[in-house]
Amino acid sequence: MDSRVVPDSFEKPVTQPRKPHVARGWGLLSLSFSTLGIVYADIGTSPLYTLNGIWAPDAPAPPKEDVIGGISATIWAMTLLPLVKYVFICLHFGTGEGEGGSFALFQGLYPPSRQDTDSDRVLTGDSTSDKTKSVSGSGHIPNRFRWPLFIWCLFATGLTMADGVLTPAVSVTSAAGGIAVAQPSTANSVIGISLAFLVPFFLVQPFGTGKLSFMFAPIAFIWLLLIGATGIVNIVTVPGIFRAFDPSRAILWFVRTKNYDNLTGVVLALTGCEAMFANLGQYNKLSIQISFSVFVYPCLILAYLGQGARIIKDGDAVMNNIFYATIPGSSNGPLFWIIYVFGIFATLIASQTMVTATFSLIQQIVNMKSLPPLRLKHASDSIQGRIYIPIVNWILMITIVIIVVAFKNSNNLTNAYGFAVATVMFSTSTIIAVQMFYVKHWPIIVALVFFLFFGFFDGLFWGASLRKVPHGAWVPLMLAFVMMLFMLFWTWGKRLEDRFDGANRQNLRHVILAGEKGEVAIPVNEHLHAITSENDKLDESETVQERYYYFTRDQTAGDSIQEQPEDDRGKLIRTPTCAVFYKFAPGKGVPHSFVRFIRQWPALPQVVIFVSVCVLPVARVPVDQRYSVDKVRSIKGFYGVTYYLGFREDFEVKIDEVIEKICLLESFGNHRESSVTIQEIRRAAFRATHVIPYYHVVSKVELREDGLIRLPFNWIRRFLIESIYRRLIISFPETAKWTGPADEIIRVGITARI
């Protein structure tokens, strides 16, 4: 029987989910200001290339009414989608922990199980199944929709990460291209200039987004002020541009031109709106709403109105590069170079926006076990979402360099850019409509109106962008498809591995039992089970020297039981050592690695500790709250421990701290017996070994109902599991964050048929 009574001094950490970041007063204003450096830099740099996406640089200047219509379409797209849809609707659909993005929406539909840490420490219960508690408020969405929605969310997540690749390539190249307006002889050097900024940008990522946003927010603030102010100056030249606020001008523009492809340029004004949602974990809902609606949105509208006014006034003279050519004053004057410098910095900040969003999304996917356990580095003690992922950073850098060199100029890149943006927006509308009905329990008419209204506009942009697939949009499509397949593959393999781990958890009493003289024995037969009858169950007043029987279960003849002869028992000698076994998957019982360990080395350590890990939504856990301990009464020297880990702490179980907790627990028994026990525990702790399972995965052979082997299916399954998944779990072990000495670790090899 387990001792479930923990002394009051064993203060346990709160294991509730992390709450969204909360700020008020000056703290909220400061947080809103810092969003400029991370959340809005992407959409804030859209004026660099949007209008040249609508009207090509080598095309003649459009008529006045077409200019007003194009600006009207841009303004109303900005109003309906980033402002209304994302800022005032989507931000209400983050997870309970304050995360946003496509994967967060899926978590809202099918929340992950909450780890039951008390159950994890149970080693001898009759049931060793994992009975975790689900997060409340999951709704009643049918389970048959789970996999289609999961695949759709993975595809949208892959497109968001592809957007993280294209944003630096498009924005930095567009900003650097402005030098050709002042110095036409440098036109062929734009790619080299762009790479000269992009490569150092990724080299400084290890310093953390918190430090970067501190530097970037003032730059983004000045940039938005500059484009807003120049917009006002330009508007004065043609005040009639204000007619663009009439939505009928946009409709008449499409009716008149009958050019559906114009929408692929308008959608460029919306790049980065998904980042507002994906970066929700970095800040909070209110700070994003304040900064966008009060400052970012007005500056952008003024910039587009000003550019439209100058197109009407100057015509063909500004078409080559609408943004830089419409800067007031000389093309080689001081204001031009000030805006050029801030444009370069602003596009680097825009790149930071999507890189940060990519880090945040990958963190969510890793936690959902749909990606390997990548090493994460946290850059903030207060905000868990601010992270840095080294391997992702370097992959992004290499991919972006290749894309910039391959596409050669920003006009080619914008063809690929809009497709990712439009598809993710449509995906978000779809899943939020489902959440409205199944999770929020709003009337179905509300969900339908939301989907039909915003889905209509998202669908228009998506259909137009789809036409660009042969002209470059295949790049984000390919990247997203590859990412989706890899995430599906890892999810499938990890579930098979966890299922194997759970199926092989055993009641400790079914593995080893105390004999009549106190010695410990283990059944030799793998199918041998040690159980007691109702009359043989331990009473709390009894000692471990009770009489036990070993029984074998005849699986071919039902549940008939017969006493196991003593000759079939394997004796275990207890040694004055300490062994720590890790349970990486939640659940009751002892892991398969323990059974394999004592069969390979027929000796039982004096102190055996089973550790389950629980990462808490705090930066660091105090030492006195780091471990919770339960002990097994039926077999001396066995303990279940929960290791509470802060999200900024390294993974290292300090055996001295665990032993102190165990000794404190033992001190609450009989004084004479506990003194002897504590001495034995401290003596054994001098020789501590950490035992970690190493799974050698092998594919199971699947049979048809008629018994015939499905050769093609099994060959593919075997290749995926044994040739790919096996190598990946070696490259990305569960102990990637282990910081203790390597010579303290023993890896127990286990053949896992999954």
Tell whether the model's pLDDT for residue 135 goes beyond 50: no
Report for 53-62, 134-143, 234-243, 431-440: range of highest mean pLDDT: 234-243
Tell whether the model's pLDDT for residue 753 goes beyond 60: yes
Instruction: Give me the residue label for tokens 């808490």.
Output: 616
Q: How far does Cα 110 stand from its chain's mean position?
A: 15
Beta strands in 617-744 (DSSP E): 627-632, 638-646, 688-698
Rounded CA-CA distance 260/530 in Å is: 74
Residue 709, token pair as written in the block: 């082997």
Which residues 6+ apart lie within 8 Å of 339 measured at CB?
226, 227, 230, 324, 327
Which residues 6+ apart lie within 8 Å of 599 measured at CB?
522, 570
Give the pLDDT of residue 294.
93
Strands 520-523 and 569-583, by their bridges, are: antiparallel
* Three-class SS of 366-405: HHCCCCCCCCCEECCCCCCCCEECHHHHHHHHHHHHHHHH
Strands 133-134 and 2-3, by their bridges, are: unpaired
Rounded CA-CA distance 36/44 in Å is: 9
Question: Does 449 share its domain with 472?
Answer: yes
The candidate with the shortest Cα–Cα distance to 494, out of 579, 367, 594, is 367
Give the range of the structural domain holding residue 352, as residue numbers without chain letter.
Answer: 36-112+149-495
Rounded CA-CA distance 642/249 in Å is: 64
Query: Which of 589-598, 605-614, 618-627, 706-715 has the weakest average pLDDT?
Result: 706-715
Residue 450 domain-assigned (yes or no): yes
Tell me what percent of the residues of the chain surpass a pLDDT of 70.
78
Question: Does 481 share its domain with 508?
Answer: no
Question: In whole angstroms, how far apart are CA 160 and each of 24, 132, 152, 433?
Answer: 31, 31, 12, 19
Rounded CA-CA distance 695/277 in Å is: 38
Q: What's the total number of domains in the chain?
A: 2
The candidate with the shortest Cα–Cα distance to 41, out of 356, 352, 422, 414, is 352
Question: Does 519 share its domain with 444?
Answer: no
Residue 128 domain-assigned (yes or no): no
Condensed to tens digits (0 to 9), the pLDDT of residues 223-267 reads 999 999 999 999 999 999 999 999 999 999 999 998 888 898 899
Amino acid identity, position 469: V
Give the pLDDT of residue 639.
93
Residue 122 domain-assigned (yes or no): no
Last residue of a domain, one of 495, 517, 532: 495
Amino acid identity, position 141: I
Q: What does pTM read for this prediction?
A: 0.78
Last residue of a domain, one of 495, 515, 533: 495
Residue 246 domain-assigned (yes or no): yes
If phi > 0 it is left, if psi is from -120 to 50 it is alpha, else beta; for residue 369 that is left
Give the pLDDT of residue 137.
42
Residue 214 domain-assigned (yes or no): yes
Residue 455 domain-assigned (yes or no): yes
CATH code of residue 199:
1.20.1740.10
Question: Does 418 share its domain with 561?
Answer: no
Question: Does 526 share its domain with 435?
Answer: no
Q: pLDDT tier at 286 (50, 70, 90 boundaries)? A: confident
Q: Count of alpha carbons within 13 Å of 670, Cβ hemisphere only?
A: 5
Condensed to tens digits (0 to 9), the pLDDT of residues 674-699 reads 888 898 899 998 888 888 888 888 98
Q: Would you say 75 and 272 are in contact if contact means Cβ atoms under 8 Å apart?
A: no
Q: Would you say 89 and 432 are in contact if contact means Cβ atoms under 8 Å apart?
A: yes
Question: Does 40 share its domain with 165?
Answer: yes
Give the pLDDT of residue 735.
67
Considering only residues 419 and 532, tell me which one the structure prediction assigns the higher pLDDT: 419
Q: Note the maximum CA span of the chain.
A: 101
Instruction: Give me the residue label for tokens 């496509």.
Output: 102
Question: Does 736 share its domain with 631?
Answer: yes
Give the pLDDT of residue 444.
93
Question: Does 491 share its domain with 521?
Answer: no
Rounded CA-CA distance 420/54 in Å is: 17
Rounded CA-CA distance 321/181 in Å is: 7
Rounded CA-CA distance 462/447 in Å is: 21
Q: How many of the other CB atoms lie within 10 Å of CB of 239?
A: 10
| Mean pLDDT for the stretch of residues 380-398 | 77
Last residue of a domain, one of 495, 525, 553: 495
Condensed to tens digits (0 to 9), the pLDDT of residues 536-580 reads 333 333 333 333 323 223 333 333 223 444 554 567 778 889 999
Give the pLDDT of residue 97.
57
Residue 25 domain-assigned (yes or no): no
Rounded CA-CA distance 459/81 in Å is: 12
Question: Does 463 share its domain with 319?
Answer: yes
Question: Does 558 share its domain with 429?
Answer: no
Tell whether the model's pLDDT for residue 85 goes beyond 90: yes
H or E stretch at 656: helix 655-666
Give the pLDDT of residue 600.
78
Q: Residue 189 in 3-state DSSP?
A: helix
Tell whether the model's pLDDT for residue 742 goes beyond 60: yes
Give the pLDDT of residue 221.
92
Residue 180 domain-assigned (yes or no): yes
Condensed to tens digits (0 to 9), the pLDDT of residues 58-76 reads 889 999 999 999 999 999 9
Question: Does 298 share its domain with 394?
Answer: yes
| CB burial of residue 364 (10 Å; 0-12, 13-18, 19+) | buried
Question: Does 618 share its domain with 684?
Answer: yes
Q: Which is it for the CA torsion 156, 157, 161, 167, positive or negative?
A: positive
